[in-house]
Amino acid sequence: MNSVLLSLPLFFGLILIPCIMLVVAGGLLHTSFKRKKAVAAGRPERSSRLLDDLWPLEDLLVDIVNHSAEMRDVLAALVAADKPRSFSRVVHEVRLARAIPIETSNAAHLTGVALGILFIAGLIRIKRDGFIATEAAREVQLRLHRAQGVLPAA
């Protein structure tokens, strides 16, 4: 049998499906943020069974970010910024956030992977000047702080 045909299920199972789940989870975070913003503005809340059923995907995305120190550090650096940050600036801030400094090349590789995953999930955007956090990223950061007990639950 052709080796390309044998590798297709592996590709779909290991790479494409997790990427699709990240995209869906990021989209759900954007949607739930817009729903909360609409309710705060005084519009009536329309519940959606589909969105309520997919809530665990949002929690999964928050857990993925929480379990990766690099993603947490990258997200914290970008959420704290009010304007786009360059790749080298993000790498520098990730290195500073560590108790034990790591080499620049290792930090650059780890930051690049974290930025890629956060971009696929829709938590960051790439602009001409660099990387910037989305509103969904701010929501993830807020949930991370609540989980750690830094902020009171709303």
Question: Is pTM, for the whole model, over 0.85?
Answer: no
Q: Which residue has the tokens 């045909």?
A: 5
- Low-confidence spans in the chain with pLDDT less than 70: 1, 151-154
Which residue range forms the structural domain that includes residue 127? 3-147
Q: Are 142 and 33 in contact (CB under 8 A)?
A: no
The total number of structural domains in the chain stands at: 1
Residue 45: predicted pLDDT: 72
**pLDDT tens across 85-117, in order?**
999 999 998 888 887 778 888 889 989 999 999
Q: Is residue 153 part of a domain?
A: no
Q: Is residue 154 part of a domain?
A: no
Q: Is residue 7 part of a domain?
A: yes
Q: What are the CA-CA distances from residue 146 to residues 4, 101, 116, 128, 140 (Å)?
A: 46, 27, 25, 33, 10
Residue 153: predicted pLDDT: 55
| Burial zone of 97 (CB within 10 Å; 0-12 exposed, 13-18 middle, 19+ buried) | middle
